[in-house]
Amino acid sequence: MAFWVYILKCADGRYYTGHTDDLERRIGEHQAGGFCAFTSKRRPITLMWNQPFATRIEALESERRIKPWPRAKKEALIREDWAALSHFSRPPRERPSTSLGTNGGGDGNPPGGNP
């Protein structure tokens, strides 16, 4: 049996992170409403990212790591932008300054992608 961690984008632009043992069923529940207070008030939802795991504990641990991430880091994961994901994994005080274009591509964006 496989387990999945997933990220949904809600109609209001917010992200929801969860895990399940039946991805298709769970997405249908989120879309129908009534199964999750957060997504029920923010439908329709769109599946943005998912990853399978061999065990429920692995999926749960991954969900718990991803859930508190800031928006920019979740979007880097969704885009599979590993340079930006690495950038946003560092504490803000340890990140190179990109606001003046002095590091990276000179466009003020984090390395490897758009903001």
pLDDT in tens, 22-76: 999 999 999 999 999 999 999 999 999 999 999 999 999 999 999 999 999 999 9
Q: What is the mean pLDDT of residues 5-30?
A: 98
Confidence of residue 96 (pLDDT cuts 50, 70, 90): confident
Domains of the chain with CATH codes: 3-68 (3.40.1440.10), 70-115 (no CATH)
Q: Hey, is 104 helix, strand or coil?
A: coil
**Pairing state between β 3-10 and 15-20:** antiparallel
Confidence of residue 97 (pLDDT cuts 50, 70, 90): confident
pLDDT above 80 (res 103) = no
Percent share of the chain, pLDDT over 70:
84
The CB density around residue 44, as the number of other CB atoms within 10 Å, is 12
- Tell me if the pTM is above 0.85: no
pLDDT in tens, 37-49: 999 999 999 999 9
